[in-house]
Amino acid sequence: MFRIDDPSAAAALPAPEAAGTEGYFTEGNPGVTAASLVRASFLNMIQEELRAITVAGGQTPSKTTYNQVLLALQALFVGLSGNQTVAGTKSFSSPPIAKNIVKAWVTFDGATGTIKGSHNVSSVTRNSVGDYNVNFPGGVFADLNYCPVGSLNNLSVNSVTMDLNGVPTSQTTNRLRTGYGLSGTYTLVDMPFVTVIYLGS
């Protein structure tokens, strides 16, 4: 979106007139109603809105390219079908809330609580054998209705259960306390690879 470059164009964005009541364009009716006046402030608003999308999408404004807004939108938002390739990191000041996505995940060493890989997990605290607090940064979860799903890897132990400890204060929007024990006896054990994903809003 290349700005107007006519010799008559202003070098700086003029201040718009005071806002009036919103309405719609009309062709008018001769002798009855005047046609709508298209003001420079309105055209500047459209120009700057489209240019903001163009620049945010990584496009260099060009006077001879006529699909820059489309290219910018394609770069900013991944489609819902087919294979997509996205370069770089996309961030949103106010991310949309969705309940069907993984909001956080972590893989850690059960013996030490050392994180091997994670997303939206600030730390893991090992309370005791097989007993951990997984801590989230603020703003990851809107309420306590998120769902943890875990898996463990230890070739010498074939039957291990993930369980939420029955402590009322063990779950907050910033922390979830989880225990891992042998099925049947529920003897807590440390696993070398503990992986948990968290879904929710």
What tens digit of pLDDT does each residue of 118-170 get?
999 999 999 888 888 899 988 888 888 888 887 776 545 455 556 655 444 57
Reported as a single tens digit per residue, the pLDDT across 41-96 is 999 999 999 999 999 999 999 999 999 999 999 888 755 445 556 566 666 555 55
pLDDT given for residue 110 in this prediction: 87
As a dihedral over the C-alpha atoms of residue 39, residue 40, residue 46, residue 52, rounded to 10 degrees, the angle is -160
178 and 146 in contact (C-beta within 8 Å)? Answer: no
Q: What crossing angle do the helices spanning 68-76 and 40-56 adopt, rounded to 10°?
A: 50
Name the more confident of 161 and 110: 110
Position 185 confidence tier, pLDDT thresholds 50, 70, 90: low
pLDDT given for residue 106 in this prediction: 93
Position 99 confidence tier, pLDDT thresholds 50, 70, 90: low
User: Which has the closest alpha carbon to 54: 97, 124, 17, 2?
Assistant: 2
pLDDT given for residue 155 in this prediction: 46
pLDDT given for residue 43 in this prediction: 95
pLDDT given for residue 31 in this prediction: 92
pLDDT given for residue 91 in this prediction: 64
Residue tagged 């991310």 (tokens): 95
